[in-house]
């Protein structure tokens, strides 16, 4: 899942990218993943390839980044690990500037935030093709679309859902307009500022939640904030394994505001073109395994069990025969 405001000055963004990449870089080579006999990676030849892998900083993205790092290493590439960059703007800018060569991005993120498109395309494959075509001019190649959907959502604590009777975003909009103090929302910095977040939601549903009733809480602490009474409603992502555990009631997006967010590999086009068949084979095998059920399982390993993303990624790749 997701992005903060893309309209920032070039100087500030350049500084953020350079700092974030420097902090995130872990290097490659030592302890590199290896492919077992008869694994998918053993049939992919990327020997001699040097490649830099990025990701955003939240658990799902770091997992995808580590899957990418280890799969590429297993196929023989020398990988520089720059996963864990601070947000979508920084991850995207790093790719555009050549600080990284590849990371996973979501179709809905690119469509609404990078390209500022508002037309809703409900078919995942058609949506992917539109996004891929739109990014060609930027020399970024999209491939290996995964089936899981990491869309935004708005949820209510069980207590708030019972007390207010709110079950849909339209009902929430009415509550926000009439009794905003009862509509207190915990929201991440990206959800508060993105066109596919709160600003766009308010526009479509016809309400404006005063910002004193928006409590800033990133995804890593949003459930804790709600449990402490900082808010009764919260922004969610649909692949968060904590939703069920915390008893959160997901509100019906009855006007279908939130677009589809299927992830796909984003790679600099010159890098992709040099070994296209090898990348297609490796990441095609990986992406088809990333179902909604599987990503919830992987996210749960980090979010609920406290395992390092590197371990979760390694287990997934080995158990699925990629490594």
pLDDT one-digit tens code per residue, 32-71: 999 999 999 999 999 999 999 999 999 999 999 999 999 9
Its sign, for the CA torsion 227, 213, 243, 58, is negative
Percent of residues, the chain, with pLDDT higher than 70: 91
The CATH architecture one would assign to domain 10-149+262-319 is 3-Layer(aba) Sandwich (3.40)
* pTM for the whole structure: 0.79
Topology (CATH level 3) of domain 152-250: D-Maltodextrin-Binding Protein; domain 2 (3.40.190)
**What is the model's pLDDT at position 30?**
54
CA distance 321 to 317: 6
Percent of residues, the chain, with pLDDT higher than 90: 80
φ, ψ dihedrals at 269, nearest 5°: -60, -35
- DSSP H stretches of helix in the chain: 10-24, 59-74, 88-96, 107-109, 124-135, 158-164, 169-178, 189-193, 198-205, 222-227, 242-245, 269-274, 276-287, 292-303, 309-319
Look up residue 168 and give its DSSP letter. B
Q: Cβ distance 4 to 87 under 8 Å?
A: yes
**What is the model's pLDDT at position 259?**
87
Where in the chain are the domains? 10-149+262-319, 152-250
CA angle at 170 for the pair 242 and 299, rounded to the nearest 5° = 15
Q: Are strands 152-156 and 249-250 parallel, antiparallel or unpaired?
A: antiparallel
pLDDT tens-place string over residues 79-127: 999 999 998 999 999 999 999 999 999 999 999 889 999 888 989 999 9
End-to-end CA distance of the chain: 26
Q: Cβ distance 262 to 127 under 8 Å?
A: yes
C-alpha neighbours within 13 Å on the C-beta side of residue 123: 4
pLDDT band at 12 (very low <50, low <70, confident <90, very high): very low
Place of tokens 């903060």: 4
φ, ψ dihedrals at 223, nearest 5°: -70, -35
**How many helices (H) does the chain have, and how many strands (E)?**
15, 10
pLDDT band at 10 (very low <50, low <70, confident <90, very high): very low
What is the average per-residue pLDDT within 127-148? 97
Q: How many other CB atoms are there within 10 angstroms of residue 243's CB atom? A: 19
Nearest to 151 by CA among 303, 251, 264, 2: 2
- 10-149+262-319 and 152-250 have identical folds: yes
């Amino acid at each position: 899942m997701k992005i903060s405001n893309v309209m920032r000055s070039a100087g500030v963004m350049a500084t953020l990218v350079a700092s974030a990449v420097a902090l995130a870089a872990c290097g490659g080579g030592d302890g590199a993943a290896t492919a077992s006999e008869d694994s998918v990676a053993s049939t992919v030849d990327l020997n001699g390839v040097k490649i830099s892998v990025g990701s955003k900083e939240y658990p799902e993205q770091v997992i995808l980044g580590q899957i990418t790092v280890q799969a590429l290493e297993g196929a023989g590439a020398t990988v520089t690990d720059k996963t864990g960059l601070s947000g979508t703007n920084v991850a995207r800018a790093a790719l555009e500037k050549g600080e990284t060569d590849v990371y996973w991005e979501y179709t809905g993120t690119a469509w609404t935030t990078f390209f500022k498109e508002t037309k809703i395309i409900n078919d995942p494959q058609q949506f992917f093709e539109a996004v891929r075509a739109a990014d060609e001019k930027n020399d970024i190649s999209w491939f290996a679309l995964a089936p899981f959907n990491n869309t935004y959502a708005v949820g209510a604590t069980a207590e708030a859902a019972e007390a207010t009777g709110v079950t849909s975003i339209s009902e929430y909009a009415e509550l926000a307009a009439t009794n905003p103090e009862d509509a207190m929302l915990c929201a991440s910095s990206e959800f508060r500022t993105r066109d596919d977040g709160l600003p766009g939601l308010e526009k479509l549903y016809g309400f404006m939640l005063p910002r004193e009733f928006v409590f800033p809480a990133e995804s890593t602490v949003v459930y804790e904030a709600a449990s402490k009474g900082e808010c009764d409603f919260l922004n969610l992502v649909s692949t968060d394994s904590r939703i069920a555990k915390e008893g959160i009631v997901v509100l019906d997006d009855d006007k279908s505001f939130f677009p589809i967010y299927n992830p796909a590999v984003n790679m600099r086009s010159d890098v992709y073109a040099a070994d296209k068949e090898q990348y297609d084979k490796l990441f095609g095998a990986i992406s088809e395994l990333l179902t909604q059920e599987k990503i919830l399982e992987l996210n749960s390993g980090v979010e609920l069990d406290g395992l390092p993303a590197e371990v979760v990624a390694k287990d997934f790749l080995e158990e699925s025969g990629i490594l």
